[in-house]
Amino acid sequence: MLSTLTERSNGGEDKRRLILEAAVRVFAQKGFHTCRVGDIAEEAGVAHGLLYHYFRSKDEVLECIFKETWSDILAAARMIEETDEPARDRLSGIAKILLRAWRRDPDLVRVVVREVARSPELQRRVSDVHAAFAAVERIIVRGQEDGEFRRDVDPRLASFVFYGALEEILTGWVLGTLDEGDEEIARAEQTVVEIVCGGLAPDRQAAEV
């Protein structure tokens, strides 16, 4: 989600890219399960046969959208992870990338949230998804080692809490249950970082059960 699909195109992939962009729009508007391959071809302005030249099926189109989108997310997360900024700023950077994707390409976010994240085939993509969690976990671990975060919190669980909060906010925008203006997006970024990093602050005492 760091870049739109268009920005990743090159001269040799124009037709393939055109089909992927059309698929994102069709999946977002009609839903993956209710649309036809012909809908994608029509939206792209290409013949059915040309679509099948690049993709074997509608499922393969969706799989490609996921792989390329997730590749963007992982690349951005790794770039942020490798900076020398405080852990809080790095977590804030990841939150901005994910949440501001809604402004950059809402149709792509709709497809990822509705069709990919909720897909029964997500199990096949678990290793890719966990790679994003692992980047967040490493940021938290480094924050603990540097004394920025408390050490008595499981960094892996904290990474799931952080990423889960971001996903649920995106879901709220997709479903229309959360306001989605620029101010609301900025507030969402700040809220997630404040809650997670506030709970990880070294001066926080572990809650007594």
159-196 pLDDT tens trace: 999 999 999 999 999 999 999 999 999 999 999 999 99
56-62, long-range: CB < 8 A, 24+ apart: 58/32, 61/19, 61/20, 61/23, 62/23, 62/27, 62/32, 62/111, 62/115, 62/116, 62/119
Which CATH number belongs to the domain containing residue 111 in this structure?
1.10.357.10
At residue 15, the pLDDT reads 87
Confidence of residue 74 (pLDDT cuts 50, 70, 90): confident
Neighbours of 157 (CB within 10 A): 11
Enter the tokens of residue 64.
Answer: 């490609």
Domain region containing 113: 63-200
In a domain, 46, yes or no: no
In a domain, 83, yes or no: yes
Of these ranges, 3-7, 45-49, 67-71, 93-97, the one predicted with the greatest mean pLDDT is 93-97
In a domain, 82, yes or no: yes
Q: Which residue has the higher pLDDT, 23 or 133?
A: 23
In a domain, 129, yes or no: yes
Structurally, the chain folds into a number of domains equal to 1
Task: List, for residues 82-140, the tens digit of each pLDDT value.
Answer: 999 999 999 999 999 999 999 999 999 999 888 876 666 555 666 677 888 899 999 99
Residue 73 predicted with pLDDT over 50: yes
In a domain, 4, yes or no: no
